[in-house]
Structure formats: structure tokens, C-alpha cells
Chain A
């Protein structure tokens, strides 16, 4: 992994997404912010979010949008992380919408994006 870089530092590690947990309201968010987006409190701790969740919404992107140099088509959706109380917008490994369904168990993984960069995605567990 030394020859590849994440699409952006601080978003994820090998174990999962790096989120924030508010020191006041206790709710979590992603990506980690310095101020809680739910209550405005200024103390936020970093937490590694759950690597397993369930599928809430999904589609596929069939043409490269501006600023994107990765492969197409690619899956796109929202995965619910019940252990963290949140839903995250995410890339999906599956780019065929017909093989996915609400509630499908999904697992976090790091995936190649371009030569030299990696990003995260969720795939069917």
C-alpha cells in the first residue's frame, strides 16, 4: 500500500471510515468535522465507523462526471451503519443495480480508484 495514496487523507483506514463523535450530543457524522454538524458543539472525537451496514439506496453512474478519473460504470448509494446511528453516501463495488436490494448486508473495503490512488467502497458481504 506504500505506493498508493488515499483519494484524501483522513477519510478512512483499513478498518473503516473515520467519522466524528460529538462530545455533547454524542451523535456521529462522516467525514469527521471540527464542529458537530448536528448540534454545533465544538469538541469532536475521531471514531472508526462500523465496517458493516445495510443498503438503503443504490444506483450506478455510467459516465465519468467532471473531476473523476476512475473506472465507469461504478456503483453509488447510501449505506446505513446502525451501530453508528448514521447513513453514509458511498461508492459501491456492485455497478449493476439489479443485483442489489434494500437491506442487503454491506461491508467496507478499500478499493483502487486510479493508478496511484485508492478510495473506499461498500460491497455485498
Chain B
């Protein structure tokens, strides 16, 4: 397979941008990435746009705003993994020799509060069976019981990520918080409190991929979906089979990415993972094999996953600091990791980072794992 590298990255900060359209956010991120890559009109063979709520031809609108249409422009929807799905398809096309250079971007403008999803039938909403935080809470409860985690551990994930995010100009929340403050925020769905949940929001991120070697290589971009049977799987089924315990999509995507990249979890220097809620980050430690089963609490309490620790996780501040614009969030992780690998992250820099992993998973049932190296 042909080597693929990252030729340029760009980002529109994640947050609330009432006066900026999704198209403008996307155009700013794309323009920055193309400038960094030294690419202009005709300089990329195709464009893939990750978006979940953008509507028809979101990617076309962004590239029209820049006068960069003419080539193929395809929108990709894969829930929270939409941006990573776009990246995966683009990398595959380059590796197969179809294109030399591909523009990948993600853009989203979401309302505040509960994420409303066309995933569900209207009766499921009417019956109260759709709120995402309730499903997150059940999964958190299972993890806490199985791994000996406490509410204080959940709060400490928030404290860590918000401390990291305070140094990220692209984050929505840029202030540190204390565990006491987190545990004093209102209960949304026990055991999850408001500050333990990320905010759906707005933003854009862009990446230019190119064939051959460069300073940051894309080593793997794997996608997997849920297997049937588990009642809390990412497909949000209404039932499951008693005793079913299939590998999760995050586990499958990570294992595929490790195999493709020829690295293992022990080789990683920095990770960006899906912290939709605080427990989700701890579950990711176990799914991504950053610790043995049941070891997520020890990894957190040791400080291993904080900046300055053995394996910093979410140095960007994670979704808990940045918020989650669905189509853009996975590429936001990639932008962060490229900057980490280039040593360009200032006060939140992971010193000497050479191998990095980005992970997303969500209700769209897809999980992604992306491995980058310098």
C-alpha cells in the first residue's frame, strides 16, 4: 500500500458561533489546511466532507464559497465518526492510487442540549426512550461496577481534560474546574452530572492528505461498526441477548488500526479519545488496550493520562473542553495530534511525541481509530 502523509491541517474553533454559518466555518478550516499544504485550485483530486446535521451538499457549499469546486465532492455521514470515515475513505483512495492529494474536512452546527437524532422512530421519542445521556449513564454504571470506579473518578476525568483544554485556543471551555465543582453540577442521568457530559456544538476541521512520505504519516484509519447482541451497543437497540458480549466497535477498530500501522498500544505517546462523557474516556482506555480490563481507574489515578504523564490522553482538552460538533470532531482530534507530532502545541505539548492515536465512537454505530506518526 502506498504511504500517505498529512500535508496540511486547519481548524475553526469549536464553540458557539451564532453569527457564523456552517459554510463559513468549513471554508475557514479548509482554507487554512490548503494554505499549509500549499495547495490551490486543481491541487486536490477529490474532497470528502464529514457531517451529520449539515444537510444536502454541505461539502459543495463550503468549496463553492472558496471557488474550489469542479472535482468530486462527497459528504460522508457516520455519526460521531463522520470525519474519521471521510479520512479513512480518502486514505484508501490515495493508497489505491486513485488520487494523489485529497481534501478531507468536517463541519457541524448543532443546537444546544439533547442531541435529537433521526436515528429513532417518533414513538421512541414519545415514549422517552431516546435520550443519549440515559444510555451513557447505563454504560457508565456497567463500567463502574466492573472496574471499581467511583463518581470521584468520573469527576477527575473532567478535571484533567478541562485543565488540558484551558491551554487550547480552539476549545469551547477554557477554564480549569475542581472535582468538587463537577460533583456539585446537576444530575442529568445518574451517575452522570452536567459537567461530565460534553456539549454538542459548532466547528470545523480540515486535513489535506497526500501520497508519499512527509513529516507526519497517516499509518492507519480503521472503521468498525457494532456487532448484534449487546443491549447497550452503539446501534442503540431496544433489546439484547442475555450473556452476549461481542467485541465493541472501538476495540475492533483499535485492533485493526494497530495491525495496519504495525504498532501496539505500548508504542503510543499521545491519544485523543471519545470523552462524550467522563466514563466514556475510561471505557476507551480499556477498549483501546491502554490498560488491562478493569485497569482504567488505576491508569487515571496514577496520572499516566494527564499531561506530563506516561501517556497523555486528550491533551486538547477532549470533547469535554472542546464540545462535540459531530462531523468535525474526529478531524479536530487529528488536527490536534498532527500539531502534537510537530511539536507545535505550546503549553499543552506532549514532549517528544512520535506515535499518536485518535479514537471516536458514537450512536451512529461506527467507531474509528486513526494512527499517526512522525
Tell which of B116, B145, B190, B238 touches A89, judged by Cβ atoms closer than 8 Å. Answer: B238
Tell which of B121, B123, B134 touches A61, judged by Cβ atoms closer than 8 Å. Answer: B134
A38 to B231, CA, bound (A): 12
Nearest-neighbor residue (CB-CB) of B133 within chain A: A61
B141 at the interface (CB under 8 A from A): yes
Write the B129-167 contact mask toward A (1 if CB under 8 angstroms, else 0): 111011001100110010000000000000000000000
Write the B235-255 contact mask toward A (1 if CB under 8 angstroms, else 0): 001111110000000000000
Tell which of B125, B142, B187, B240 touches A65, judged by Cβ atoms closer than 8 Å. Answer: B125
B229 and A58 within 8 A (CB): no
B71 at the interface (CB under 8 A from A): no
A89 to B239, CA, bound (A): 6
A61 and B131 within 8 A (CB): yes
A76 and B129 within 8 A (CB): yes
Find chain B residues with CB under 8 A from A3 CB. none
A2 at the interface (CB under 8 A from B): no
CB distance from B236 to the nearest CB of A (A): 8
B189 and A62 within 8 A (CB): yes
B142 and A57 within 8 A (CB): yes
Tell which of B121, B128, B190, B231 touches A87, judged by Cβ atoms closer than 8 Å. Answer: B231
A115 at the interface (CB under 8 A from B): no
Nearest-neighbor residue (CB-CB) of A72 within chain B: B128
A56 to B242, CA, bound (A): 10
A60 and B189 within 8 A (CB): yes
CB distance from A103 to the nearest CB of B (A): 12
Nearest-neighbor residue (CB-CB) of B132 within chain A: A65
Find chain A residues with CB under 8 A from B240 CB. 78, 86-87
Nearest-neighbor residue (CB-CB) of A120 within chain B: B127
B239 and A87 within 8 A (CB): yes
Find chain B residues with CB under 8 A from A91 CB. 127-129
Find chain A residues with CB under 8 A from B129 CB. 76, 89-91
Q: With A65-B128, A86-B240 given, is the CB distance from A60 to B138 under 8 Å?
A: no
B119 at the interface (CB under 8 A from A): no
Find chain B residues with CB under 8 A from A119 CB. 126-128
B123 and A88 within 8 A (CB): no
Find chain A residues with CB under 8 A from B70 CB. none
A68 to B142, CA, bound (A): 26
A68 and B125 within 8 A (CB): yes
A67 and B239 within 8 A (CB): no
Find chain B residues with CB under 8 A from A65 CB. 114, 125, 128, 130-131
Find chain A residues with CB under 8 A from B123 CB. 7-8, 11
B126 and A69 within 8 A (CB): yes
A37 and B128 within 8 A (CB): no
Find chain B residues with CB under 8 A from A63 CB. 114, 188
A54 to B129, CA, bound (A): 19
A89 to B191, CA, bound (A): 18
A61 to B192, CA, bound (A): 11
A88 to B240, CA, bound (A): 7
- Going nearest first, the 4 A-B pairs with the smallest beta carbon separation are A67-B125, A8-B123, A59-B137, A65-B131
Binding site for A on B (CB under 8 A): 114, 116, 121-123, 125-131, 133-134, 137-138, 141-142, 145, 186-192, 228-229, 231-232, 237-242
- List 26 A–B pairs whose Cβ atoms lie within 8 Å, in order of A's numbering: A7-B123, A8-B123, A29-B239, A31-B238, A37-B228, A38-B241, A59-B137, A59-B189, A59-B190, A60-B190, A61-B131, A61-B133, A65-B131, A67-B116, A68-B126, A70-B126, A76-B128, A85-B241, A85-B242, A87-B240, A88-B231, A89-B129, A91-B127, A91-B128, A113-B127, A119-B128
